[in-house]
Structure 1
Amino acid sequence: MLHSRRRSPENARIAPRPRARAAVRERRAAYQAALPGPLYCDTSALVKLYLPEPGSDELNRLVEGRVDLLVSDLAVTEAASALSRALREGSITEAIARRVHQAVVGRLDEGVYRRAELTRDVHRRAEQFLLRLVATPLRAADALHLALATTARAASLASFDARLGAAARAVGLAVYPS
């Protein structure tokens, strides 16, 4: 996994054979060709990079080796909220929540992810999306993610939110998952 989830003996994978490795490389190249960069990751995608959820493995393969990932502080704050919810529900421990949050913030601060800045212009663009994309009902935070992606000149958006994905397609972004 790209984002260093440590594998216990129960979930360790057997090393793939050379032919399988080539197939994985080909699949990754196809994913990356289908999703031109830069690639903006919303909160749903960001959390999947760190916690085992449906779609996590495939997303990690997709972003492995990419240097054009865009993440916003909004996504980091929303990820902290998602971690808090998972902690309350008992699906993760406090240590995992803390470690994941520190990893996300660290990668953003170290430049592993490019920061998409939440500015006044981003807010105005989000407001325009909310008023213009009435056929695709967006929540305010989703409109902000869409505005962050487009303002940062992302060519693609990774989001597991169907409404945000539909809105992103409507403004010309490639979307994962499709």
Structure 2
Amino acid sequence: MIVYGDTSGLVKLVIDEIGSDQMDSLYSRADIVAAARIAYAELRAALAALARAGRIARSQLPRVREEAEEVWNGVSPIEVDSSLVQRAGELAEEHYLFGYDAVHLAALQRLAEPGGCLLASWDSELRRAARALGYGLYPDSAVGLR
């Protein structure tokens, strides 16, 4: 099974929150987990934001960072080049997405045709756009969408 994990999915592999058990299960069953290379920076930024908000102790950041590195080492990165960025711009307009969500959707399209992989995401707008393009979603219905 091929899975595209956006940042909202990858964070759940590092931090215990709603959906973490589901994402852990999917990650362990997947043959390939892919993400746009920008997801690394987004993942690290999300963890820093959680520390800033007090959801994880700053003293835990080194351990959390190590866990994030382990997760990222298991991800097949999709390079963000000019053609992917161009496609992301088109998708942003077509589906009214934020920039990085559009980059994730363009990377998903580069990874596989609809039916060829699952999008693991808890982002409601990205899920809506991926569904409109015919992609399968994981989980089927996500609790705790942003």
Range into which the TM-score falls when normalised by the shorter chain:
0.7 to 0.9
Normalised to the residue count of structure 1, the TM-score between the two structures is 0.70
- 2:63 aligns with 99
Q: Letter of the aligned partner of 1:64 in structure 2? A: S
Normalised to the residue count of structure 2, the TM-score between the two structures is 0.84
The separation in 2 between residues aligned to 1:130 and 1:121, in whole angstroms, is: 14
Structure 1, unpaired ranges of 5+: 1-36
Counterpart of 1:158 (choices 105, 117, 120) is 120
- 1:138 aligns with 97
- 2:44 aligns with 80
Kept in 1: contact 2:22–2:139 (CA 8 A):
no
- 1:56 aligns with 20
The separation in 1 between residues aligned to 2:110 and 2:64, in whole angstroms, is: 27
Deviations, residues 15-48 of structure 1 (Å, cap 9, x unaligned): xxxxxxxxxxxxxxxxxxxxxx321100000000
The separation in 1 between residues aligned to 2:11 and 2:97, in whole angstroms, is: 20
The separation in 2 between residues aligned to 1:62 and 1:117, in whole angstroms, is: 23
Aligned residues: 137
Kept in 1: contact 2:88–2:105 (CA 8 A):
yes
Moved over 6 A (4+): none
Of all paired residues, the percent bearing the same amino acid is 31
Kept in 2: contact 1:165–1:175 (CA 8 A):
yes
Question: 1:108: Cα distance to partner?
Answer: 3.4
Structure 2, unpaired ranges of 5+: 141-146
Structure 1 segment 5-154 matched on structure 2, within 5 A: 37-109=1-73, 112-133=74-95, 137-153=96-112
Question: Rg bigger for which structure?
Answer: 1
User: What RMSD in Å do the two structures reach over aligned CA positions?
Assistant: 1.7
